[in-house]
Amino acid sequence: MQSLKGVLKKEINLDEIRQRVSMLSSTSNSDQESVTYRCNKCKDLGGRIQRVAQSDKPFDYIDKWEDCSCVRDRMVERLMKSSKITEEFQQKTFRNFEEEGRPDLIKTAYQKAGEYAKNFFDIRSTRKNSLALLGRPGSGKTHLAMAVCNYLLKKGVGVHYFPWVEGFNEIKDNLNTLETRIRQLQQAEVLFIDDMYKGREKPTDFQAEQSFAIVNYRYLNNLPMLISSERTISGICEIDEALGSRINEMCRDYKVVIQGGIEMNYRLRLED
């Protein structure tokens, strides 16, 4: 997935831009009034040419390209669309996470997820660059991991969302695209696996084989992951010790296990 940094580094052809500006300038007022632009600041050119005086030659100027703010906005929009994150989940943020009155472990998870987001750009290329929120259902694991995703997307980082059950059902329904989909999950800038090992006591052979291929590739290439699961690391290791130990190593600095009773389930508290 292409990052914002890569897009912004794209070479600008100033002659082509000048030509487009000239065409816009020569358009009659009536024609201009009928045109609708996504960005009225740059007229969808993506920026403007700035004439800058050279410090050592005050009467000599050079043309420099300045990106419009809409370039970043559109890149974030494209990243959101390709992330597979639903519109509902795009609204999950740290700000609207209900922390007050929750058990201490929930507050710890909130703080750890926020710390991970804050430090992401410093740790992203290291071995310990991932986040794991594990344990009780309804404790806010998906909300917090999604808040990290939305924060990173707005910073121009590509994120791919993979809900365990639905994701593998989709892959099995389209086995002709298996290789492409697995490669996409392996190589995504950041991968969020939600509800890992959900739905069965043990994963199918297909799930086990493909999930190891995904996690192992990312482990070997220091590619960040966000993991939510009702299972602990020891529970994951009971299913696949090689996979569980890799996840544990990658998430060692940013891992919270939420244990306890039904009081941890916020969704049930809302029904009272």
Domain ranges of the chain: 4-72, 83-271
- C-alpha 16/C-alpha 101 separation (Å) is 59
- C-alpha 74/C-alpha 80 separation (Å) is 10
Strand pairing category for 47-54 and 225-229: unpaired
| The pLDDT value given to residue 95 | 94
pTM of full prediction above 0.85:
no
Torsion sign over Cα 62, 68, 72, 75: negative
| The pLDDT value given to residue 148 | 97
| The pLDDT value given to residue 222 | 98
For residue 147, give the nearest of 219, 226, 94 by alpha carbon.
94
Tokens of 81: 């669309």
Burial 204-237 (b: 16+ CB within 10 A, else e): eeebeebbbebbeebbeeebbbbbbbbbbbeebb
Cross-strand pairs, 193: 162, 227
Residue 82's Cβ-count burial label (10 Å; 0-12, 13-18, 19+) is: middle
Each residue's pLDDT, cut to its tens digit, for the chain (272 residues) gives 444 444 444 444 555 655 555 555 555 555 555 667 677 776 666 666 666 666 666 666 666 667 666 555 565 555 556 556 768 888 899 999 988 878 899 999 999 999 999 999 999 999 999 999 999 998 999 999 999 999 999 998 999 999 999 999 999 988 988 999 999 999 999 999 999 999 888 899 999 999 999 999 999 999 999 999 999 999 999 999 999 999 999 999 999 999 987 777 777 765 44
- Write down the residue that tokens 């600041």 correspond to: 41
Q: Which CATH superfamily includes the segment(s) 83-271?
A: P-loop containing nucleotide triphosphate hydrolases (3.40.50.300)
| The pLDDT value given to residue 266 | 77
Q: Tell me, what DSSP letter sits at residue 130?
A: -
- C-alpha 146/C-alpha 96 separation (Å) is 12
Tokens of 198: 């959900």
Residues in the chain, overall count: 272
Residue 178 to residues 167, 169, 194, Cα–Cα distance (Å): 11, 11, 19
Residue 109 CB: number of other CB atoms within 10 A? 28
| The pLDDT value given to residue 24 | 52
| The pLDDT value given to residue 31 | 53
| The pLDDT value given to residue 1 | 45
* Residues 207 and 169: beta-carbon distance below 8 Å: no
